[in-house]
A and B are shown apart, each in its own frame.
Chain A
């Protein structure tokens, strides 16, 4: 097994090729305008039409985009050429590249990576290779970093219908740093360690975006006899080992299956003899087929010679070979396939119907078959896809989508270099020593320096924890604004985590916490009250409002209390959230 990682992290700057803010519009907000577009694949610089691009084009989709005035301009609408690359984003990427011991290119060329699934209004993603040939030290040796690139984030998909895909434009154009490692990762745990360390280095710059969806890990897995496969969209580091293990298993199972197929049918290709089976289902009880036919669809089928029992072969729990065939068919615009290794009772397809289908397709013992129900041309295209996949007597190179359960689904063939085209709207960028120097300063001193700094203000345990925390950047901001380091760290790493377990979350952590520590510093309340105040703030209250009834008892008021109660324990029991123990002790001593 060989495994490499590709990490995409959003940068905390303005958009890459326009001067829009990278702040996303509220998800509840109605779009201010809409655009309707169509795309077609074009030929790459080397004259090849990329296979992945062609595949999307075959779907003949229309794309609808939701636009928002503040976060999208004519550049996102593909109605204005890109402006210069965001200088901050470039500096951060150059800085990170230097921290990873990379060779920065002398001159940067922005490229267009053809993507015609509608996620980019232009039909391409702007991407720019910045550096090559670096490395990262890990517990199991060096992991080579092959490339660092800066590129545009795509539009977020909102919904998909048969022929229309809906996207939001606000995410389009946010800068991403893309880091790719060589296949030096030895095992699943090593993969996790590497991903974590890269994440740390990125966050240590303090210039990367935080929150869900701002970092994405794609896993590149290659097995010796199998193929290179890219798994996209693993949201959580903890699941990466599972994806790697599963992909290795899937390829092993596929290879086993392929040798069985070869045993049965040899190298002979399956023929795509498509038969219209609509007549068979005139009086069917199968709701799926009935509904499809009522919508003007046809039931088409093909024989899969010698495949009996193989379509149902389980590659991974819940994923059969048939699921792979079905994923390919989906590329043509159908919802899936029905195949002969399935339980037809589940579909309410009768025994007579099954026999009639077998007869019409000429299915003999040892053969399998597949059916789809859709408009005739769509259905034909889908079955051609099934045959195309079934005739691949190898593990195909693919880009796959990470599923929640640790498995993956086919998305598209692995895209090749043919989809790269120079971005002719932009001049090339010359990298000077001056720029590299600025970049080094902008990205901060790297991981070691960051650790040293944290050890200076936190206890060793908390420093280690903070270094790995996703809250690092926020922590530094809060300390910068005057918050006590240990208190800020504890609040971020403990108090808020506990509240989250209760289902409580701050709406604007940046602003809320800054206000909280500010009021604390001014003496409005004591440390012990913070969890309670935060609880109120999670409910939407401002800090002063949330602190009502928990204001600190101090000075003359405290003296009065000491005179009245006289007992330390009793006072603390009653006023734990309002009295500072140290101050109370002193006041008692004076008495």
Chain B
């Protein structure tokens, strides 16, 4: 319940009556007229008369039978993001504020898909997530798995969802139950929100599917129909705004889901339910990820010496500026990278191409990178996955050779053996 004031504002001979709302801009008063329209009136010269108080229930939507206190099969864990956000009056923008419990209540039909319980771990925007947050959230997921959840659904902002899903894939290895991250590209306060269908499909698959992987469940196309579950280590947000922003990179999606027709159609080999969770949520937060670009200064690379590990996101099939022909204008950064490696900092390579496998044998630049000690040859990981993996590996391993060995071995599907024709 929020209390707002009903006012009459007189300004420049005009009279307005309505409910005063918090204004995003200092110079203006914002009034909700009885017609429902909001208008802004310049504060300067405006006379405000208070006419009484209005009590407003914000967000009091239809009440659904939520099993309060009880445990359902599916554990819904909130971390924030558009999927659980609504209007924020101070800035006028969308801000995470709905609790997962609210959200679950507001999704008609969720109770028909599964039994569930919900709680919130954080309420932050996904761009504010850090490896430390991955760690905390993974521990909460472990608690739910230990307590017998049949599946875990994590509400998450979409921007960095694929980093988190990669991190969970390493931290919560061999999970006996599925862990699906769900987001939305249209906030759940809109009639056209994609949150509802993403949630229903994720919960349906978490409760009924044979798979027990870490995945991301989002719209398959622009239509409000099926969702795709993408493997946690192979997913990437590929569009700023579309519902079907997430794509599987270099592998098919894990499965297609449609709760309406009870469809769960796997597209690749999946981990079956059961087995024992291998949990390790330690992370090293001092890892950098750096894009190379035309004209990158070699001294810029030198400045990375304070990091414990580095992911270089280079160009093409495995390149950075190396200037093998001694061009006058070109510069090379391989000596600087080599200096970092020689000082004991592991440097991994990922490609800006996103799609395709790295091959550092093919051209001179790749070979020079390998000579400098940069690894990543034949990996088909995404930059974000390589970064999350390095944060995790270096959480428990410091030795260069061991780090390199662990990075280059496939743990959670992040490096595929063959490049399928898709």
Interfacial residues, chain A to chain B (CB-CB below 8 A): 35-47, 49, 53, 74, 77-81, 103, 105-109, 111-114, 116, 121-124, 127-129, 132-133, 147, 149, 416-422, 424, 427-428, 430
Contact = CB atoms under 8 A, between A and B. Distances in A.
A40 B186 contact: no
Given A78-B186, A109-B39, A428-B24, A45 B223 contact: no
Interface string B17-57: 00101001100101011111111111000000000000011
Nearest to B1: A47
A231 B159 CA distance: 46
Interface in B6-20: 11-14, 16, 19
A315 B25 CA distance: 53
Interface stretch (B124-132, B189-197, B201-209, B378-386): B189-197
B2 to A, nearest CB: 9
21 contacts: A35-B222, A36-B223, A37-B192, A45-B58, A45-B87, A47-B56, A47-B58, A53-B191, A79-B222, A80-B240, A80-B241, A80-B242, A81-B241, A109-B40, A111-B36, A122-B190, A122-B192, A129-B37, A129-B38, A417-B36, A422-B87
Contacts of A124: 190-191
B243 interface: yes
B62 interface: yes
Nearest to B15: A133
B92 A422 contact: yes
Given A36-B225, A47-B59, A132-B14, A78 B192 contact: yes
Given A106-B39, A427-B92, 4 more contacts: A41-B191, A45-B87, A80-B240, A133-B14
Interface in B84-121: 87-88, 92-94, 108
Given A43-B61, A109-B38, A109-B40, A424 B192 contact: no
Nearest to A418: B36
A105 B32 CA distance: 13
A480 to B, nearest CB: 38
B242 A424 contact: no
A42 B189 contact: yes
Contacts, number: 143
Nearest to A416: B36
A43 B188 CA distance: 10
Contacts of A116: 191
B224 interface: yes
A40 B34 contact: no
A105 B40 contact: yes
A74 B241 contact: yes
Contacts of A424: 87-88, 92-94
Contacts of B185: 79
A500 B14 CA distance: 49
B70 interface: no
Interface in B165-209: 185-186, 188-193, 196-197
Main secondary structure of the interface of B (DSSP, over half): loop
B284 to A, nearest CB: 37
B326 interface: no
Given A114-B191, A133-B14, A106 B37 contact: no
Nearest to B197: A38
Contacts of B69: none
B61 A417 contact: no
Contact of A106 (B28, B35, B60, B241): B28
B25 A428 contact: yes
Contacts of A122: 186, 190-192
Contacts of A53: 191
A419 B190 CA distance: 11
A106 B265 CA distance: 55
A107 B190 CA distance: 24
A381 to B, nearest CB: 15
Contacts of A132: 14, 16
Nearest to A77: B222
A412 to B, nearest CB: 15
Interface string B382-412: 0000000000000000000000000000000
A428 B61 contact: no
A531 to B, nearest CB: 51
Contacts of B57: 47
Given A108-B40, A428-B24, A123 B92 contact: no
B40 A42 contact: no
A589 to B, nearest CB: 70
B35 A147 contact: yes
B42 A106 contact: yes
A37 B222 CA distance: 8
Contact of B62 (A44, A49, A422, A427): A49
B306 to A, nearest CB: 38
A335 to B, nearest CB: 25
B59 A43 contact: yes
Given A107-B40, A108-B40, A424-B87, A123 B197 contact: no
